[in-house]
Amino acid sequence: MQITVKCFATLAPFQPADAEHVPLQPGETAKDVIARLGIEPDQVAVLFVNGAHAALDKPLADGDRVSLFPAVGGG
């Protein structure tokens, strides 16, 4: 099983080299994948799975598209 992962803004350095084919183990959650990428969960402010807002404990499925966004400030 595999998923696609896209990291935005300050999380971009954690983007996997082959973001289109990130391996996924049965039962893994978004939080598991985030940890595997070396990202602290509190660094992720917004998580989308297949274009919909999702919780970190959401179980992932083959073919899911995961987008990770940090907190963003403006002035």
The per-residue pLDDT for 75 is 63
- Separation of alpha carbons 43 and 46, rounded Å: 9
pTM, rounded to two decimals: 0.90
- Separation of alpha carbons 44 and 56, rounded Å: 9
Could you tell me the domains of the chain?
Answer: 2-69 (3.10.20.30)
The answer to whether the CB of 29 falls within 8 A of the CB of 61 is: no
The per-residue pLDDT for 66 is 97
Phi–psi pair at 67, nearest 5 degrees: -120, 130
The per-residue pLDDT for 19 is 85
The per-residue pLDDT for 74 is 66
- pLDDT tens for the chain, 75 residues long, are 999 999 999 999 999 999 899 999 999 999 999 999 999 999 999 999 999 999 999 999 999 999 999 987 666
- Separation of alpha carbons 31 and 37, rounded Å: 10
